């Protein structure tokens, strides 16, 4: 028996994450890119949770939601905010 509910959840959330990554790649404001990157890592955390890898979810939440945003924010604050062209 194939659980269709898992597949539907994965399909919908991966579709939303695709839109997030698309907007993130073509975003000119780097600060907004950081916010979209946090949204993308939240969606990926759900996907990893449905795929039943709790260790990876714990490490991934700490790293992607907690640390990458702060690291990129410091870099944006020390350098320039808007991407040319």
Partner 1 sequence: MMGIGEVFWLYIWLIIMANMGLAIYGLIMRPNILKKIACLTVLADTSFIVLAFIGYRFKYPVSPYIMTNWAPNNATITHFISESVDPLPPTLTITAVVINLSITILLVFLAIRLYEVYGTLDVKKIAMIKKELRGGEK
Partner 2 sequence: MMFIIVSIPLYIVAFILYAIRGFRGPTVFDSTISIDALCYDVSAFMVILSVYFRSYLLLGAGILLALWAYILDVVIARYYDRLTRIGDSGGD
Partner 3 sequence: MRVTGLIAAISILIVLFALAYGLVVLGISGPPAPVKLRLLGEKYLYYMINPATKYFTAESPEGVSAILWDYRGLDTLYETMVLFGAIIGAILVYREYLYSEPRKTGKIYGLSHIVRTVSKIIIWLTIIIAVAFGFTGQITPGGGFIGGAAFAVAPVLLVLVYTLGYARRLGLTHRRALLLRASFLLLLLLVIVTPLIAGGYIFQNQAKPGSAFSFPGRFIDSTPLGGSIFFLNLFELFAVAGAFTVAFILLGVIASLKEGE
The least distance separating partner 1 from the CB of residue 65, rounded to whole angstroms, comes to 12
Which single residue is written with the structure tokens 């890592």? 41
Binding-site partner at residue 80 among partner 1, partner 2, partner 3, none, CB < 5 to 8 Å by type? partner 1
Check: CB of residue 34 under 8 Å from CB of residue 76.
yes
Q: What share of the chain is helix, strand, coil (3-state, %, to 5)?
A: 80, 0, 20
The least distance separating partner 2 from the CB of residue 50, rounded to whole angstroms, comes to 7
The rounded distance, in Å, linking the Cα atoms of 83 and 45 is 28
- Helices 4-25 and 30-50 cross at an angle (nearest 10°) of 170
The least distance separating partner 2 from the CB of residue 78, rounded to whole angstroms, comes to 11
Q: Which residues bind partner 2 (CB under 8 A)?
A: 5, 9, 12-13, 16, 19-20, 23, 29, 31-32, 34-36, 38-39, 42-43, 45-46, 49-50, 52, 54, 57-58, 61-62, 65-66, 69-70, 73, 76-77
């Amino acid at each position: 028996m194939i659980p269709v509910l898992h597949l539907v959840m994965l399909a919908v959330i991966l579709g939303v994450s695709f839109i997030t990554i698309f907007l993130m790649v073509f975003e000119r404001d780097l600060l907004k890119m950081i916010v979209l990157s946090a949204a993308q890592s939240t969606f990926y955390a759900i996907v990893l949770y449905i795929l039943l890898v709790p260790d990876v979810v714990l490490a991934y939440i700490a790293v992607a939601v907690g640390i990458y945003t702060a690291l990129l924010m410091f870099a944006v604050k020390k350098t320039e905010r808007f991407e040319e062209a």
